Amino acid sequence: MEVKKLAIGSDHAGFDLKEKVIKHLKNKGIEVKDFGPFNDDRADYPDYAHPVAKAVTKNEVDLGILICGSGNGINMTANKHQEIRSALCWQVDIAEMARLHNNANIIALPARYISEEIAIECIDIFINTDFEGGRHKGRVAKISC
C-alpha cells in the first residue's frame, strides 16, 4: 500500500512528538490530517483518538498515528472502533510486525517512553510495511466481534 495521507492525534503529553512527526511526514511528501490538539494545554486523549479512528474507518486516510504519554489510553480508545486495529509500538520490530502480521491500521506511540528517533523509525517502518496476508488473514478476520 502506498501511504499518501495519514491522520494524527495526541493528548498534551504527546503534543511535542506529534508536531515533530508531522514535520517529518510532510518532508516526505505525505499529507497529514491533524486532529489536534494544537497546543500543549491539558487535553483528553479520547477527544483525539475517536476522530482519527473515524477517519481511518471511513477511508478518509490510509493509516492513523496516535500519541499519548503511555500510549495505552489512546490505543484502548481507538480499538473501541470496530474496524480499527491499533497497535501500541515502542520498538521498530513491533511496528513492523503490527503491519506485517496484524494488518494494524493505527500506530499508537508512548511519548514519555520513546525517543523522537525511535518514534520516527517506528512510523516509517509502519507506513512502509504491507500486510503479509496468508495464514494471518484468517486470524485478523477473527479480531472483530
Task: Give the separation between CA 15 and CA 43, rounded to whole angstroms.
Answer: 9
**What residues are labeled active site?**
68, 101
Domain regions of the chain by residue span? 5-141
Going by C-beta distance under 8 Å and a sequence separation of 6 or more, which residues neighbour residue 59?
none
Sign for the CA dihedral angle at 27, 17, 115, 2 comes to: negative
Cell of 76: 484502548
Instruction: Write out the CATH class of domain 5-141.
Output: alpha beta
Give the N- to C-terminal CA distance of the chain in Å, as an integer.
26
Residue 120: count other Cβ atoms within 10 Å of its Cβ: 18
pLDDT tens, residue order, the chain (145 aa)? 788 999 999 999 999 999 999 999 999 999 999 999 999 999 999 999 999 999 999 999 999 999 999 999 999 999 999 999 999 999 999 999 999 999 999 999 999 999 999 999 999 999 999 999 889 998 998 888 7
Dihedral sign for Cα 95, 101, 102, 104, please: positive
